[in-house]
A and B are shown apart, each in its own frame.
Chain A
Amino acid sequence: MVEDTDMKEVEKVAKKPAAKPAESVPEPDLSVLLKRNVSLIEKAVNSKEPRLMGRVLRQTGVFRKKLTAEKIEAFVKSTLPEGVVMKPFLLDSLSSEGSGMQVDVPSSGKEATFLPETEIYACLVVILYLIDQKHYEKAKAVTTAAVQRLDTFNRRSLDLLAARVYFYLSWSHECLNTLDEIRSKLLALHRTATLHHDNIGQEMLLNLLLRNYLHYNLYDLAEKLRSKTELPESRSNQQYCRYLHYLGRIRAIQLEYTDAKECLIQASRKAPQAALGFRIVVHKWLALVRLLLGEIPERTMFRQKGLEKALEPYFYITQAVRIGDLNAFRAAVDKYQSVFQTDKTMNLITRLRKNVIRTGLRRINLAYSCISMTDIAAKLGLGLTDDVESIVAKAIRDGAIDATLDHPNRCMYSKDQVDVYSSQEPQGAFHARISFCLDTYNEAVTAMRFPPDAHKKGLESAEARKERQQQEQELAQHIAEEEEEEEEDF
């Protein structure tokens, strides 16, 4: 249940930057905004431009907090013509919410141009309102009905809205703690989305399924699903980010720490600053994975704005591992046990015991040229003395320390340290950095968007130049919007 709160936090934080500019300008009435969105939807469907649909969802996010039952009721009544399947249902779910005031709005005669997209959009607005008001039972009913309704359509222009509806379906179930009920439904939807080449739905549903499995600790099933599905070519940053987070967690459980670290690092880098809850979860896992790899995360990681408090338990664990003190480690584990249990990281923490011993041994190895087993046991805080020897022997075998043992005298002799710069290590570190830079560059190139017909602009007149400047301005606007979108979507 940790992630519930995280996601809520995310939503809360994500709203802030978006709401600010809206407040400075006198805000048009809510019904006007809703109307404007409906016409945008129509435009999007007619021009087959999914980007416009994205704008609709973004704007909905902006006025989301201002939604009231009456306003939505009026909106639903005026926009949806009689005979639309969802209309009575939506009104019904709202009716007990509002004051019961009947706003009589003349029907605006939309029947001729009525689109299913508008219907689903109306559903989405209602769902948003219900979830914000914490009426999860009702939200669940509405989303379930909306998903049923969506099954009857096969329109690509619905994909974006449908994906949102799926998200809220899963979200309302998660809030009610009934996620296992919808698993087979989600699987069926994912199958359909894949067959329809519905990339947006595919990504969303895959992530929802992974989340669903991980919620019940079904790492086995999650990995099986993940390895048997393909990620669609065109992916949105947010969904990919989530996917990396889930993958990182699966890998960490499977003891593939290097892979896990890579995924989690990417996820933390791709996540927008505003998605605080998400970043907290990723950083918690990242800290543990790095510790398990024998690395010590930098102090700055725990000092990031907004994360200090949440990462505090992990900071103490890191400290204990860094100095290799088993007693401090035990104390930290005992103190924050409940935190780790809710974070579902308790088992990873128990795995860390070995690393604490290893780092402790390494320090002893560096400091002493000869030390007795009893002293090692005392320094590490280990219990029985007869175990120490085999533990040290294993550490030598795994290459953690460079030393020899003397059994009759029960002593450890450290070997002289080899100069790191005579080994391959610097080269390895250098290679890791270079390949990271090259990867980043390549990803940046593939992520770039090129305006159509840009190559034809070689010969342009004065008039054409004017046009081009205008186009460039538009492009800049688009990019600005895109950035906004990414923050929003988290």
Chain B
Amino acid sequence: MDLVQSVVPILDSFKAAFNSGDVQKAKSLLSSLKVKLTEFTSLPPFFEDTPTAPKELMIAREVLEHAVLLSVKLEDQAMFERQFAQLKTFYTDTRHLLPASQQEYPIMGLNFLRLLVQNRTAEFHTEMELLSQESLQNVYIKHAIALEQFLMEGAYNKVIAARRDVPAESYNYFMDLLMTTVRDEVAASCEKAYPTLSVASAKEMMSFDSESDLMEYAEERGWVVADGCLKFLVDVNQELTSKDIQSTHLINQMLSYAKELERIV
């Protein structure tokens, strides 16, 4: 019990620092908390059945939940991944030991967003398989999954709309990151789909705040601006180079056929 008692005050001051927005102090307190947590024997992977086990698990889960949210505040994606990996076992393996956490779905949703931002779709779907049909209906999860579908379809306006009604404040960081991805995607689509596009509509489609921002971006991508219109360059070179690759590819194929046939005859 002493051990648990000694952790509680640190946890309280950590939470206070977290809530008041003092991220540096929270960060240093977090590392001391983590050291303390290693002394709890009832935590995964040991799951020792001690009398204080539920309390210890609760504290550990709370610490990790705050750590995940802290990493969002610090805008540190690697830290987010680490903390979430630790926290995940609490959500999967201690379900029968603890009451469900209120933070569970928001944090899961955050993780989905992170995978989306980092474009790790395979992992996104693997994680998604773990959720039951009921949890898929949860507002936090649904938000992230809908985003993925919009992105796949190309319904970028809906993504931009989703930016406005995020389910929690902590989502803003990842949503902002997602916006840049979306802008790049829209730009790439425009390049292929439109021969020309007026500056005004381009500004609206890529959700730029001012025309000068758009001009900067246009220069970056090598678009030509003339008469208030953007002209996209058609890549002529691509076809020529693809023909070069074709012949070596074909030679390789033919050689492999010859080799195989020789083996048969």
Contact = CB atoms under 8 A, between A and B. Distances in A.
Whether chain B is bound by chain A comes out as yes
Interface string A377-404: 0000000101100111111110000011
B193 A354 contact: no
Nearest to B182: A390
A114 interface: no
Contacts of B154: 390-395
A393 B205 CA distance: 12
B111 to A, nearest CB: 13
A277 to B, nearest CB: 22
Interface in A403-455: 403-408, 424, 427, 431, 434, 438, 441-442
B194 to A, nearest CB: 5
B264 A397 contact: no
B188 interface: yes
B24 interface: no
A390 B151 CA distance: 10
A349 to B, nearest CB: 12
A353 interface: yes
B172 interface: no
Contacts of A396: 189, 192-193
Contacts of B188: 397
B246 interface: yes
Contacts of A4: none
Nearest to A358: B153
A219 to B, nearest CB: 5
A207 B205 CA distance: 50
A255 interface: yes
Contact of A354 (B152, B195, B253): B152
Interface centre among B128, B129, B130, B152 (most CB of A within 10 A): B129
Contacts of B128: 347
Contacts, number: 94
Interface in A297-335: none
A404 B194 contact: yes
B133 interface: yes
Given A217-B130, A397-B188, A434-B257, A405 B194 contact: yes
Contacts of B103: none
A266 to B, nearest CB: 19
Given A387-B157, A391-B155, A408-B198, A253 B129 contact: yes
A434 B193 CA distance: 36
B193 A404 contact: yes
Interface stretch (B35-43, B54-62, B118-126): B118-126
A269 B252 CA distance: 29
Interface of A: 217-220, 223, 253-256, 341, 344, 346-347, 350-351, 353-354, 357, 384, 386-387, 390-397, 403-408, 424, 427, 431, 434, 438, 441-442
24 contacts: A253-B122, A253-B125, A253-B126, A254-B126, A346-B133, A347-B128, A350-B149, A351-B125, A384-B157, A386-B157, A387-B155, A390-B156, A390-B189, A392-B154, A392-B193, A393-B193, A394-B154, A394-B189, A397-B192, A403-B193, A407-B197, A407-B201, A438-B257, A441-B264
